[in-house]
């Protein structure tokens, strides 16, 4: 914010995300590869306008890569912050 003082803002590190996008009729799959603190992780996002199309695509992906669709989900910012805390405890 131009001209504003932000005394409580602190740079914690860098998170760089590379995204691959695949479009299907009624759905879009985004695969993110994120790098931070010497670590790399992946995140799969599904955007859809047709829920049945999205379910069919996810079922195929789940079967191929043994994806546990019931596993707890943590966003990349939370994973970044957890790694920061682990490295700076």
Q: What is the pLDDT of residues 40-84, one digit of tens each?
A: 999 989 999 999 999 998 899 889 988 888 888 899 999 999 999
Interatomic CA distance for residues 38 and 45, integer angstroms:
23
Interatomic CA distance for residues 87 and 48, integer angstroms:
37
Helices (H) and strands (E) in the chain, counts: 2, 3
Taking alpha carbons only, the member of 50, 56, 48, 52 closest to residue 29 is 48
pLDDT at 50: 94
pLDDT grade, residue 9 (50/70/90)?
A: confident
φ/ψ of 38, rounded to 5, equals: 75, 15
Torsion of CA 71, 75, 77, 80, to 10 degrees: 20
- pTM of the predicted structure, to 2 decimals: 0.76
């Amino acid at each position: 914010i131009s001209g504003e003082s932000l005394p409580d803002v602190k740079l914690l590190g860098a998170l760089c995300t590379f995204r691959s996008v695949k479009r299907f009729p009624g759905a879009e799959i985004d695969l993110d590869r994120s790098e931070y603190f010497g670590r790399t992780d992946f995140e799969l996002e599904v955007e859809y306008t047709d829920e049945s199309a999205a379910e069919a695509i996810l079922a195929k992906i789940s079967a191929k890569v043994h994806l546990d669709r019931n596993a707890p989900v943590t966003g990349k910012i939370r994973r970044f912050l957890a790694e920061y805390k682990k490295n700076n405890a």
